[in-house]
Amino acid sequence: MSRVGFIGLGIMGAPMAQHLLNGGHKLYLHDIKNPPFPLIEAGATVCTSAAEVAARADIIIVMVPDTPHVETALFGEEGVAKGLRPNTIVVDMSSISPIETKKFAKKINALGCEYLDAPVSGGEVGAKAGSLTIMVGGSQEAFDIVKPLFELMGKNITLVGGNGDGQTTKVANQIIVALNIQAVAEALLFASKAGADPAKVREALMGGFANSRILEVHGERMVKRTFNPGFRIELHQKDLNLALQGAKAMGVSLPNTAMAQELMNACAANGLGGMDHSALCRAIELMSNHQIAEA
Ligand code: NAD
C-alpha cells in the first residue's frame, strides 16, 4: 500500500483516483474545486493545497488540463515543490508540452525526486474501466515503482524513453485521433447526403478495414448527436497546438493536422469549444449545409 497524492479530479482524474482507492492505497486529494464527494466518502483525505499533498504522499499524480495548470500545481505559491520530500516520485498524467515537461523534470530532479511524464489515451470510458493506454517518459527505476499504480488505471503501459517522450507519444496519438475523427465525419456526411442511413453505414463499416475506435465511439456520437464531453474540443485544440508548434520548431510539415486544427477552431468559434471532439463533424456539416443525422 502506497501513500498516493492525486491533484486534479475532473473527468479523468476522479475515476482514476477511484481505482487507486479500490486497489487499497491511501489517497491524498487536491483540486482547486471541491474534490468529488464519492472519493471522500470512500476514505480519501482532502488536502487544502498541492504542497500539503506533497508533504503527505510518496507518489504524487497530477491530472490537470494544460501546461500552465501543471506549472501552477508543481511550482506555484502552494505547489508540490513547496512540500516535496526527497525520493518522492512526481507523475504528471496530464497531456502537456513535451518541451516544458523536460524543464519540469529537471526542476523536480534538482529537489532529489524522480519525475515521470505519463499521459493517457482512452478517454473517460477508459478511465472508468481502468483500461487506459499509458505512455511514459522517465527512468526505468521510477517506472518500476509506479507500475503497480499504472496497472490499476490502465492496460497498455509502455515506458517509451526519457522525460518528454511520454508527452511526445501522446501528441502523436492526438494527431491520429483528430485525423480519424475528420475522416469519420466526412464519410458519414457523404453517406448521409447520398441518402443512406448513417447509422447503418457505420454498422456496415465496423466489420471492415475502415473500422476504428473512432468510428465506433465518435461515429456513434455523430449519429446520435450526443456531444456532451468526453474530451472537449478546447483540450484537443491544445494538443494540436503542441503538435503544430513542435512541427514548426523541428521544421517538419503536418498539413492534415493543420487542417484538423482549423476545423476545431471553427467549432470553437461557433461556441462548441466545451463540446466533445466528435462535434468536429459540425464544422464539416456547416460547410456542406447538411447534417449527418437529425438531433
Ligand atoms: P477536467 O477539466 O475535467 O479536469 C481537470 C481538473 O483539474 C479540474 O477538476 C480542475 O479544477 C483541476 N485543476 C486545474 N488546475 C488545477 C491546479 N492548479 N491545482 C489543482 N487542480 C487543478 O479535464 P480532464 O478531461 O480530466 O483532462 C485532464 C487531462 O487529461 C488533460 O490534460 C487532458 O488533455 C487529458 N486527457 C483527457 C481525456 C478526456 O477524454 N477527457 C483523455 C485523455 C487525456
Residues 35-78: tens digit of each pLDDT: 999 999 999 999 999 999 999 999 999 999 999 999 999 999 99
- Minimal-distance CA residue to ligand 1 atom 41: 231
Specify the pTM.
0.95
Q: Is a pLDDT exceeding 90 seen at residue 202? A: yes
| Residue 1: band (very low, low, confident or very high) from pLDDT cuts 50, 70, 90 | confident
Q: Atom of ligand 1 at shortest distance to CA of 96?
A: 32
User: How many angstroms separate the Cα of 3 from the Cα of each of 52, 57, 189?
Assistant: 13, 5, 50
What is the predicted pLDDT for the residue at 46?
98
The H helix count followed by the E strand count for the chain is 14, 9
- Ligand 1 pocket mutation pick from 47, 64, 75 by most atoms within 8 angstroms of CB: 64
Q: Does domain 3-162 have CATH number 3.40.605.10?
A: no
Which residue, judged by its Cα, is nearest atom 30 of ligand 1?
94
Reported as a single tens digit per residue, the pLDDT across 144-177 is: 999 999 999 999 999 999 999 999 999 999 999 9
- Domain(s) of CATH 3.40.50.720: residues in the chain: 3-162
Residues 92, 166: Cα–Cα separation, whole Å? 10
In this prediction, residue 288 has a pLDDT band, given cuts at 50, 70 and 90, of: very high
Residue among 100, 68, 93, 66 at smallest CA distance from 239 = 66
pLDDT of residue 219: 98
User: Which residues belong to CATH 1.10.1040.10 in the chain?
Assistant: 169-288
Residue whose Cα lies nearest atom 9 of ligand 1: it is 10
Ligand 1 pocket by C-beta < 6 Å: which residues? 7-13, 30-33, 50, 63-65, 69, 72-73, 94-95, 120-121, 123-124, 230-231, 235
Torsion of Cα atoms, 279 then 285 then 291 then 292, to 10°:
-70
Q: Report, as an integer, the average pLDDT of 80-88.
A: 97
Q: Whose CA is nearest to atom 27 of ligand 1?
A: 65
Average pLDDT, rounded, for the chain: 97
Contact 34, 55 (CB under 8 A): no
What is the whole-number distance in angstroms between the Cα of residue 99 and the centre of ligand 1? Answer: 19
Q: From the alpha carbon of 8, which atom of ligand 1 is closest?
A: 7
Does 147 qualify as catalytic in the annotation?
Answer: no
Quick check: 295 pLDDT over 90?
no
Separation of CA 200 and ligand 1 centre (Å):
35
What is the whole-number distance in angstroms between the Cα of residue 173 and the centre of ligand 1?
Answer: 18
Q: Which is the catalytic residue, given 26, 106, 147, 170?
A: 170
Dihedral in degrees, nearest 10, Cα atoms 110, 116, 119, 124: -110
**Domain formed by 169-288, architecture:** Orthogonal Bundle (1.10)
Q: How far is the CA of 93 from the centre of ligand 1 (A)?
A: 9
Nearest to 93 by CA among 10, 172, 27: 10
pLDDT (average), residues 179-196: 98
Averaged pLDDT, 268-282 = 98
Which ligand 1 atom lies nearest to the CA of residue 14? Answer: 26
